[in-house]
Structure 1
Amino acid sequence: MTSATILLLISASLAPISEALLGVGRTQSVAVSGRLICNGQPASGVKLKLYEKESTFDVKMAEGTSDNNGQFRLTGSKTEISTIDPKLNIYHKCNYNGPCYKKIGITIPDNYVTSGSNAQRTFDIGTINLANQYTGQTTDCIN
């Protein structure tokens, strides 16, 4: 790797941090809700994380777990120059006994991103059966 490539990677990874520290950009927020089931039963205690996708490392905006009925709602905000690119990660063990977790990533559409620190709209993912196989589903040991 050349020194120019390394410098470019470092500056790209530090840009979002410097934007937030310098007050450049605008605060944007997003909310997501839904219900998780496993084999027809509520999936309670499932770990959920709301991220803002970045070119290097995603930035966590919020995290939580599903309630006893499998329902959840997460909200988060971030200051950035361009429109944030939010996604929800769901970490579960439905029909899986491995040492890690199955991870499902769901991209939240741009039209659910609102200005300010309080989300004005909520993206409802509906009911998701974690027993199903989803395109892009992976295994994640570090979450």
Structure 2
Amino acid sequence: MYNSAVIIILLSSSFLYCCRAKRECVAVTGHFKCQSPALVYAKLVDNDGVTSDAMAEMCPVTVSTGSFDLRGCASDVVGRIDPEIHIYHKCKGSDTRQIKLIVPQSALDGSNATAYNFEQVIDLDGFRMKNERAVSKFPKLSDKCRKG
């Protein structure tokens, strides 16, 4: 009997805690460039530490200069969302590279997406960026990108 009561209390408080998660939205814009046309893919994610939940994406395109305008919403049970832009590209040859750009918490507004702009042009084939690394391949694309 005691164990059942404890389990019910724990489940109830877990349910109430989970339902408190606040939906937050963010919009991010920016420009990138490569010396020559190369495949580029960008996605807006909520980085939860263990996983990165996709909120929006720019389908892969072959370009030498371009821009992104990504908007999405997510919610975290604990704290605020942690938005990042992940840019995958082949601007430095045949190797796939990933760059992570942290979106500041000040860009979040809780309900309506307010635009945050990365003011500097992101030079994808310049010197290695702080949050850049080699990856084996582009991430799995959404149905929207696979069909388009």
Return the TM-score normalized by structure 2. Answer: 0.70
1:34-73 to structure 2, matched below 5 A, reads 34-39=30-35, 46-65=40-59, 69-73=65-69
Q: Of 75, 93, 107, which aligns to 1:96? A: 93
The alpha carbon displacement at 1:125 in A equals 4.4
In 2 relative to 1, CA 79–58 (structure 1 residues): closer, same or farther, beyond 3 Å?
same
Q: Of 115, 125, 129, which aligns to 2:123? A: 129
Report SS of the residue matched to 2:115: coil
The alpha carbon displacement at 1:112 in A equals 0.3
Q: Deviations over 1:74-126 (max 9, x none)?
A: 0110122411111000000002213xx1000000000001111x302323343
The alpha carbon displacement at 1:44 in A equals 6.9
The 2-side partners of 1:121 and 1:129 are apart by 21
Report the residue type matching 1:79 in the other structure.
S
The alpha carbon displacement at 1:45 in A equals 5.3
In 2 relative to 1, CA 66–107 (structure 1 residues): closer, same or farther, beyond 3 Å?
same
Identity rate, percent: 24
The 2-side partners of 1:127 and 1:65 are apart by 19
Rg: which structure is higher?
Answer: 2
Matched-pair contact (CA < 8 Å) for 2:33–2:123: yes
Give unmatched runs, 5+ long, in structure 1: 1-14
- What do you get for the CA RMSD once the two structures are aligned? 2.5
Report the residue type matching 1:91 in the other structure.
Y
Q: Does 1:85 align with 2:82?
A: yes
* Structure 2 partner of 1:28: 24
Give unmatched runs, 5+ long, in structure 2: 1-13, 140-148
The 1-side partners of 2:40 and 2:119 are apart by 15
The 2-side partners of 1:139 and 1:44 are apart by 16
Structure 1 runs of 4+ with >4 Å offset: 66-69
The 2-side partners of 1:78 and 1:122 are apart by 16
User: Comparing both structures, which one devotes a greater share of its residues to strand?
Assistant: 2
Aligned residues: 120
The 1-side partners of 2:29 and 2:38 are apart by 14
In 2 relative to 1, CA 34–65 (structure 1 residues): closer, same or farther, beyond 3 Å?
farther
